[in-house]
Amino acid sequence: MSLALRNAQRLVPVRRAPLRRAVCALRAALGVSRFDVGLVCASDGLMRRLNGRYRQRSEPTDVLSFPFHQLAAGELPRPRSRDEYNLGDIFLGVEYIHRQCLATGEDFDSVLAVTAAHGLCHLLGYRHDTEREWQRMYQKEVEILEDLNRLTGANLRPLTAGLF
C-alpha cells in the first residue's frame, strides 16, 4: 500500500526519492508491501523527546519504531479489516545519523536505508535485547539488505554487526 514519508527536520537535507525506493524494496523483501508504513525523518529534539517518553532515555537516537501490531519475530500481521493494513511508524533520527556518517565517513543515504531496514524489522517483532534475539534480527536484516543490494548494486550491511 502506501509509504507516508515526512521530513520533520530542516537541518539535514534528505533525498526522499532514494529513501522511498529503498523502503519500498525492503517492504517487498519482507513480504509486507500491502501494509502502510509511516516514515518520519526527525530532528534530535523530536528523537530526544520520543526516546525519553517511550524508552526513558532522554537522548537522541538513530531509529525508533512504533508497531501497529504486536508480533513475534518473523510473524506477519493478519489484518481483519482494511484499517489494520498498517505496520506502524518509523522515526529516523537524521541529525544523529548524519553526525555518525560525518565521523565515520559512511554514505548518509546508505546508512538511512540500512537504519530504515532495522526499523522495519522492529515493526515485525524483531528485537535485539539478547544475543539470540539479535542473531535472528541480524540475519533478517542481512537477508532483506541483500535483496536491496541486488536491486541497486549497493553493498549494504546491517549496522549492528558487533552488538554481541
- The answer to whether residues 71 and 26 touch, using CB atoms and an 8 Å cutoff, is no
Centroid of chain to Cα 48: 17
163 located within any domain: no
Which cell numbers in the block locate residue 139? 540475519
83-95 pLDDT, tens per residue? Answer: 999 999 999 999 9
Q: pTM of the predicted model, to two decimals?
A: 0.96
DSSP H or E stretch at residue 109: helix 108-123
158 located within any domain: no
35 located within any domain: yes
159 located within any domain: no
66 located within any domain: yes
CATH of the domain at 118: 3.40.390.30
What range does the domain containing 15 cover?
Answer: 3-152
Which cell numbers in the block locate residue 14? 534528505
Q: Considering its fold, how many domains does the chain have in total? A: 1
Does the pLDDT at position 163 exceed 90? Answer: no
110-128 pLDDT, tens per residue? Answer: 999 999 999 999 999 999 9
162 located within any domain: no
